[in-house]
Structure 1
Amino acid sequence: MRLKLRILAIVEGHGEQTAVPVLLRRWFQHRRFRDFETPDLAIRAPGSGALKCAHDDDDELGIEYYVEMAARERPDGILIMLDADDECLERARKRSLGLGPELLQRARAIAPHIPIEVVVANREYEAWFLASLASLRRASRIPRASRLTAPLSDIETIRDCKKRLTQLLGRPYEETTDQPDFTEVFPFTPAMARRSRSYRKLLEALEALTRAARRNRRS
């Protein structure tokens, strides 16, 4: 029996460790890709900045360390996801190489034989929940009466999305439980992609990653 193509995820946050595998499995199902799978838990680089900082094996820092860890499992592809926070804006002001492209260069240099994609959520993963607010309401994840004051076209300019979610929920937002639960109802629609450029980049990265994984398997 032919083995399924295996995609590993690397993340920074506790919530993303379970949420990103949920996202991957839902996307495989959406695309009817029955030949792909992913583990229940992503590889976690603990602490904000652990992937962005300089490579240091002794301190388990840098995207290189975690790509090497993932590569030892011989995956068919690696998806790396992290929050931009304000770093992408700062890089744009300085006209320097974007965070995503820089990290992708570093990751591919370590494992050039494995398809790798890097996705940077702008400004944070929770911004995608705000962009999918209507779907969260329909699925009863958020009270139907909850409304966002900022226009949907400005989702990626909102700071502290977790605080906004707490206000919408009427209770504290819990990253480790709410993130995978809300991810279960992400819509893979053109409207969602228009509301969030970084979400659109995620969908493009998933298409590229699965296409490359299949190509490698055939070669």
Structure 2
Amino acid sequence: MPRNKVYMIVEGHGEANKPYPNQDPAAKMLVIKMLQYVQCWSWFPSKRPWRLRSCGDFYPRTEKLLAVLEAHKHFADCAAVLVLFDLEDDCPHDIGPQIATQIRERGPWPFSIVVVCAYREYESWFLASLETLKEGYQYAGDPETRRDAKGWLEKHFDYKETRDQASYTQRLDVVLARERSRSFARLCHAFEQLRGACEGGSAIVTP
């Protein structure tokens, strides 16, 4: 069986759960969008993400995350795993490499692993591309300096994570979000690294 699937380990209900029976969860929509963005046509997302209960299952204690990554060794089609969670206060530039180091120490791994922290939360990325989600609107300022982006969207647009996160992800503009959000730019770079690993037939752990 070829290794051609990107699996996902996520934190939120919106990322992991289908909003409707005929609609994919947000994390799967995100992986589809990113694979298209980097033009990696030989890899595909897995059917659904694996959800951990909270940010604390990713960091600072990584035992649960590492156990779930070990479980992915049983998936013969696993080419890569995206580890994605919100990081409200700590700096992704510091925490991401710390987690990746612990993952490397548990290796070797038969698949690539990329760690991406959404600063401050996944919904901050929506603020970075607001005009493509809601016509006539553009978020003023740095979307990553606002706490509770989810609450801001709820107040202005009646946003509900479990209902809307997937459809917002589908309409998000990758180029705009990359320009305006450092943590989203990290996501883009991670998938560029995955494409390189795919083309080179190697397995990487990043950052």
**Is the partner of 1:64 in helix, strand or coil?**
helix
Residue 173 of structure 2 aligns with which residue? 187
Of 109, 112, 121 in structure 2, the residue corresponding to residue 124 of structure 1 is: 121
Residue 85 of structure 1 aligns with which residue? 88
Residue 38 of structure 1 aligns with which residue? 45
The answer to whether 1:158 aligns with 2:146 is: yes
> Aligned residues: percent identity?
30
RMSD over aligned Cα atoms:
2.3
Of 134, 138, 153 in structure 2, the residue corresponding to residue 137 of structure 1 is: 134
Select the structure of larger CA radius of gyration: 1
The answer to whether 1:111 aligns with 2:107 is: yes
Ranked by relative contact order (alpha carbons within 8 Å, sequence separation 6 or more), the top structure is 2
CA contact (8 A) 1:115 1:213 kept: no
Of 71, 92, 98 in structure 2, the residue corresponding to residue 69 of structure 1 is: 71
Distance 1:214 1:7, change over 3 A: farther
Distance 1:72 1:40, change over 3 A: same
Measure how far apart 1:217 and its partner are: 6.3
In structure 1, the gaps of 5 or more residues are 90-96, 139-143
**Structure 2 residue identity aligned to 1:100:** G
Distance 1:85 1:6 in 2: 29
Residue 186 of structure 2 aligns with which residue? 201
> How many residues in Structure 1 have an aligned counterpart in Structure 2?
193
**Structure 1 residue identity aligned to 2:105:** A
Distance 1:79 1:108 in 2: 15
Distance 1:131 1:147, change over 3 A: closer
Distance 1:55 1:103, change over 3 A: closer
Measure how far apart 1:181 and its partner are: 1.0
Instruction: Report the more deviating stretch, 208-217 or 73-82.
Output: 208-217
Of 23, 32, 44 in structure 2, the residue corresponding to residue 25 of structure 1 is: 32
CA contact (8 A) 1:131 1:155 kept: yes
Distance 1:42 1:83, change over 3 A: same
**Structure 2 residue identity aligned to 1:198:** S
**Structure 2 residue identity aligned to 1:158:** R
CA contact (8 A) 2:62 2:99 kept: no
The answer to whether 1:175 aligns with 2:161 is: yes
Instruction: Report the more deviating stretch, 97-106 or 28-37.
Output: 28-37
Residue 16 of structure 1 aligns with which residue? 15
Distance 1:147 1:202, change over 3 A: closer
**Structure 2 residue identity aligned to 1:13:** G
